[in-house]
């Protein structure tokens, strides 16, 4: 059971999440808090969200704080989510960039990559279309949540997860059965570089990217944080690179140095000339 | 879009059919492979997609898959195995015999929707 928080408690929790992870939760999202934190209450043996807040108000930050941030930032994901961005990647973006780079490896970044379905989808698309380039390419997976990154590195998925969006021929080709789970084969796992990153804080040591996926992520941030994140991503992208956002997202009023372009059924962004 | 659901469990047929109807499909059902073939022959149509259980009495789903793929009248039909058989050799055999997709039970409506999307059949309405 997780009875609702009173308005002051809810406001405190919103401020905590904003300060520690730059996630913006407003009063319309109380259901999200209740749903996401119910498993945390159970794990910690607590009965109410108020009891959890008492722990969150303690300093220094502990594993409980980290667990709450992780629970609130784990995004729904699936293999080949929305399909068309990956058709566009396969049919338009990869052929163009592979040609321009003369077959050299590509640097691809999945920001807020959650449990890894998106980066492994990209890895499969690249491997299927350009196996030699795939072997030389790196996919940077970043997330604020270390637990999901560990899962990404292991590449272990349940039957319910591989049922979601993954074509059966690709399941057979790129996964091994491990008991009740399925594990991504080593040839794809070695393309992955998983790192903890809070996008709201300036980063370093990230290679210039040819392609960036930051889909259904910006929605969690306020406008200033969005501008800051997108501006820093732009500076981390090759001049002829491509940026993919979620289907309902745009850079209108966020960054005028990106130009909107269409390829296949996808809207994506290039650095403005 | 039309779908044919073949499963010997009335309860499972009903769940799958409901999911499909909510996606805009018109659905017919059969309780085993033989019944499905008889029904198809009687109605003379070719559904856009058939969802086949593997283990059924009279005629199982794998045999039905083979029968459908032998008959050119059903060449345009997309076929998805929907089954508790989750071993790799079973999946390989089904794809080699002409199945277009494979969905492991249990599954969620989202998983079914995703698989239909893979087959280019997501816009049923």
Chain A from 41 to 60: CB within 8 A of any B CB: none
CA distance A184 to chain B (A): 14
Report the C-alpha gap between A261 and B62 in whole angstroms: 46
Q: Quick one: pLDDT at residue B125?
A: 46
Mean predicted confidence (pLDDT) in A268-272: 91
Q: Number of A:B CB contacts under 8 A?
A: 44
Closest partner CB to B88 (pick from A78, A163, A177):
A177
Confidence bin at A180 (pLDDT 50/70/90): confident
Closest partner CB to B104 (pick from A80, A159, A167):
A159
Query: ipTM value of the model?
Result: 0.92
CA distance B42 to chain A (A): 32
Structure tokens that stand for B14 in this block: 């009903």
Structure tokens that stand for B120 in this block: 């280019």
Inter-chain touch B88–A160, beta carbons under 8 Å: no
Chain B from 49 to 78: CB within 8 A of any A CB: none
pLDDT at B27 over 90: yes
Inter-chain touch B118–A177, beta carbons under 8 Å: no
Inter-chain touch B117–A164, beta carbons under 8 Å: no
For B50, half-sphere exposure in the C-beta direction (CA atoms, 13 angstrom radius) is: 31
DSSP lists the bridge partners of residue B81 as: B52, B102
Residues in chain A closer than 8 A to B114 (CB atoms): 78, 80, 163-165
Report the C-alpha gap between A121 and A116 in whole angstroms: 8
Structure tokens that stand for A229 in this block: 């994140």
pLDDT at A2 over 70: no
Of A22-26, A144-148, A219-223, B77-81, the one with minimum mean pLDDT is A22-26
Inter-chain touch B114–A164, beta carbons under 8 Å: yes
Mean predicted confidence (pLDDT) in A197-209: 94
| Percentage of chain A lying above the pLDDT 90 cut | 68
Closest partner CB to B102 (pick from A78, A83, A168):
A168
pLDDT at A189 over 90: yes
Residues in chain A closer than 8 A to B91 (CB atoms): 168, 171-172
Mean predicted confidence (pLDDT) in B105-118: 92
At the topology level, CATH places domain A84-271 in Rossmann fold (3.40.50)
Residues in chain A, overall count: 273
User: What chain A residue is nearest to B109 in terms of C-alpha separation?
Assistant: A164
Structure tokens that stand for A240 in this block: 């002829």
Instruction: For A76-130, write each residue's pLDDT tens digit.
Output: 789 999 999 999 999 999 999 999 999 999 999 999 999 999 999 999 999 999 9
Identify the helix (H) or strand (E) that includes residue A228: helix A223-235
DSSP lists the bridge partners of residue B5 as: B29, B51
Report the C-alpha gap between A38 and A30 in whole angstroms: 12
| CB atoms near residue A63 (< 10 Å) | 9
Report the C-alpha gap between B68 and B89 in whole angstroms: 21
Report the C-alpha gap between A198 and A215 in whole angstroms: 15
Architecture of the domain made up of B2-118: 3-Layer(aba) Sandwich (3.40)
Between helix A63-73 and helix A49-56 the angle, nearest 10°, is 120
Torsion sign across C-alpha atoms A250, A252, A255, A256: positive
Instruction: For A234-262, write each residue's pLDDT tens digit.
Output: 999 999 999 999 988 999 999 999 999 99
Cα A197 from chain centre: 11
User: Any idea where the domains of chain B sit in the sequence?
Assistant: 2-118
Q: Which residues contact A241 (CB under 8 A, 6 or more apart)?
A: A97, A208, A209, A210, A211, A212, A270, A271
Mean predicted confidence (pLDDT) in A133-154: 94
pLDDT at A20 over 90: no
Inter-chain touch A163–B108, beta carbons under 8 Å: yes
Contact A14, A26 (CB under 8 A): yes
Q: Quick one: pLDDT at residue A62?
A: 84
Closest partner CB to A167 (pick from B86, B88, B118):
B118
Inter-chain touch A171–B101, beta carbons under 8 Å: no
Q: List strand residue ranges (DSSP E) for B1-125, in order.
A: 2-6, 26-30, 49-52, 78-83, 101-104
Q: Quick one: pLDDT at residue B123?
A: 61
pLDDT at A220 over 50: yes
Structure tokens that stand for A199 in this block: 């996008």
DSSP lists the bridge partners of residue A201 as: none
Reference A196, options A149, A138, A139; nearest CA is: A149
Residues in chain A closer than 8 A to B85 (CB atoms): none
User: Any idea where the domains of chain A sit in the sequence?
Assistant: 7-73, 84-271
Helices vs. strands in chain A: H and E counts, helices first? 13, 10
Q: Compute the mean pLDDT over every residue in chain B, rounded to the nearest whole number.
A: 94
Mean predicted confidence (pLDDT) in A136-159: 94
Residues in chain A closer than 8 A to B88 (CB atoms): 172, 177
Q: Which residue has the higher pLDDT, A74 or A123?
A: A123
| CB atoms near residue A169 (< 10 Å) | 16
Contact B59, B28 (CB under 8 A): no
Structure tokens that stand for A98 in this block: 């592979």
Structure tokens that stand for A1 in this block: 């059971």
Confidence bin at B116 (pLDDT 50/70/90): very high
Residues in chain B closer than 8 A to A160 (CB atoms): 106-108, 111
Instruction: For B58-92, write each residue's pLDDT tens digit.
Output: 999 999 999 999 999 999 999 999 999 999 999 99
Q: Quick one: pLDDT at residue B124?
A: 52
Q: Which residue has the higher pLDDT, B64 or A222?
A: B64
Contact A54, A139 (CB under 8 A): no
Q: Quick one: pLDDT at residue B16?
A: 94
Structure tokens that stand for A94 in this block: 């990869």
Chain A from 154 to 183: CB within 8 A of any B CB: 159-160, 162-165, 167-169, 171-172, 177
Mean predicted confidence (pLDDT) in B2-8: 97
Q: Quick one: pLDDT at residue A61?
A: 82
- DSSP β-ladder status, A192-196 and A181-184: unpaired
Write phi, then psi, for A110 (nearest 5 degrees): -105, 105
Confidence bin at A270 (pLDDT 50/70/90): very high
For A247, half-sphere exposure in the C-beta direction (CA atoms, 13 angstrom radius) is: 7
Q: Tell whether domain A7-73 is in CATH 1.10.155.10.
A: yes
Mean predicted confidence (pLDDT) in A26-35: 80
């Amino acid at each position: 059971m997780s009875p609702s928080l009173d308005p002051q408690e809810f406001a405190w929790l919103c401020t905590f999440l904003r300060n520690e992870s730059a996630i913006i939760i407003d009063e319309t999202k109380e259901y999200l808090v209740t749903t996401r934190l119910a498993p945390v209450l159970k794990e910690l043996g607590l009965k109410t969200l108020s009891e959890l807040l008492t722990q969150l108000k303690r300093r220094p930050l502990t594993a409980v704080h980290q667990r709450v941030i992780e629970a609130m930032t784990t995004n729904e994901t699936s293999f080949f989510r929305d399909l068309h961005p990956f058709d566009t990647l396969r049919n338009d973006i990869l052929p163009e960039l592979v040609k321009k780079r003369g077959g050299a490896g590509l640097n691809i970044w999945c920001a807020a990559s959650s449990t890894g379905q998106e980066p492994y989808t990209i890895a499969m698309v690249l491997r299927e279309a350009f196996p030699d380039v795939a072997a030389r390419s790196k996919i940077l997976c970043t997330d604020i949540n270390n637990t999901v990154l560990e899962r990404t590195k292991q590449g272990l998925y349940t039957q319910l997860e591989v049922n979601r969006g993954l074509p059966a021929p690709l399941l057979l080709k790129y996964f091994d059965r491990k008991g009740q789970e399925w594990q991504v084969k080593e040839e794809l796992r070695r393309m992955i570089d998983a790192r903890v990153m809070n996008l709201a804080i300036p980063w370093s040591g990230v290679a210039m990217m040819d392609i960036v996926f930051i889909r259904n992520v910006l929605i969690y941030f306020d406008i200033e944080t969005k501008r800051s994140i997108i501006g820093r991503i732009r500076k981390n992208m090759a001049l002829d690179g491509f940026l993919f956002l979620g289907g309902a997202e745009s850079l209108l009023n966020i960054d005028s140095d990106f130009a909107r372009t269409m390829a296949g059924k996808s809207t994506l962004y290039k650095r403005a000339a | 879009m039309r779908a044919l659901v073949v499963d010997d469990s009335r309860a499972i047929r009903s769940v799958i059919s409901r999911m499909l109807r909510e996606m805009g499909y018109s659905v017919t059902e059969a309780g085993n492979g033989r019944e499905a073939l008889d029904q198809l022959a009687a109605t003379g149509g070719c559904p856009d997609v058939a969802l086949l259980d593997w283990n059924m009495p009279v005629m199982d789903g794998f045999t039905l898959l083979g029968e459908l793929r032998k008959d050119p009248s059903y060449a345009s039909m997309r076929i998805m195995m929907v089954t508790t058989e989750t071993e790799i050799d079973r999946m390989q055999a089904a794809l080699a015999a002409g199945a277009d997709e494979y969905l492991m039970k249990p599954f969620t409506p989202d998983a079914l929707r995703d698989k239909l999307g893979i087959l280019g059949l997501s816009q049923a309405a």
